[in-house]
Amino acid sequence: MYKTIQEEAYEANMQLPKLGLVLFTFGNVSAVDRDRAVFAIKPSGVAYDDLKPDDIVIVDYDARVVSGKMRPSSDTKTHALLYKTWADIGGITHTHSTYAVAWAQAGRDIPIFGTTHADHTHHDIPCAPVLTDEMIQGDYEHETGHQIIGCFREKGISHREVEMVLLQNHGPFVWGKDAAKSVYNAAVLEEVARMAHLTLQINADTAVLKDTLRRKHFERKHGENAYYGQGC
């Protein structure tokens, strides 16, 4: 019954170590089934080498386990709220990838410095502020989801235009039309974070990409008249 999203979540999770995005168990990917209103997520603290498709846990949008013998990721409530709020996303990835975490720890948005970035979004990548003490001492992982959603609302950014966020002092949360796309976006974010760091080291006064070029690169890949890729 949940075979498809279990397999999808399993395959996507196994991409994280291959792409160099995780050390040990520091990451998790989920895949949603919109018809059944449940999602499949990595079990908590299981090493990637030991992970099997059957271990993937099925939970609903309130983070209640629907199927599975293992405890789901400790970040499950964050995934749940994002799925509940943003009805058109299909997969979510959370990692502690090195460069994205460094920007999150620095508490800074990642400025859009070039076309590698603009090929994926025409905004800076936002860094949502650290949670308040009340949020941390309350329902922490649920509030983490609220902080992400609140950051997008406040900045007036659509989660369709920017499929990634940093959470200050923590790390990246990334999404997409399915689990595989969210992992792809997580790898793009790590590379863009690394390039931006190096750019500032070479020229601390470098200007961000001008608007025409931001739109050109984003549109040629994602716009109505996109001509990147094979159009399928």
* Residues designated catalytic: 119, 228
Alpha-helix runs per DSSP H in 33-130:
76-85, 98-106, 115-118
Alpha-helix runs per DSSP H in 119-210:
133-137, 140-155, 179-202
Residue with Cβ nearer a copy of itself (53 or 86): 53
Among 45, 62, 150, 153, binds a copy of itself (CB under 8 A): 45
Looking only at residues 105 through 134 of this chain, which bind a copy of itself when binding is defined by CB under 8 A? 105-108, 113-116, 119, 130-131, 133
Compute the distance between CA of residue 138 and CA of residue 210 in angstroms, rounded to an integer.
42
| Per-residue mark of binding to a copy of itself, 55-94 (x: CB under 8 A) | ---------------xx--x--------------------
CB of 44 to a copy of itself, least distance (A): 5
**Contact present, 90 and 181 (Cβ < 8 Å):** yes
CB proximity list for 68: less than 8 A, separation 6 or greater? 43, 55, 56, 57, 58
Compute the distance between CA of residue 15 and CA of residue 13 in angstroms, rounded to an integer.
5
Structure tokens given for 3: 């075979």
Residue with Cβ nearer a copy of itself (86 or 194): 194
43 is a site residue for a copy of itself (CB under 8 A): yes
CB of 197 to a copy of itself, least distance (A): 6
Residue with Cβ nearer a copy of itself (85 or 98): 98
Residue with Cβ nearer a copy of itself (10 or 184): 184
Among 171, 174, 176, 218, binds a copy of itself (CB under 8 A): 171
- The number of CA neighbours under 13 Å toward the Cβ of 74 is 7
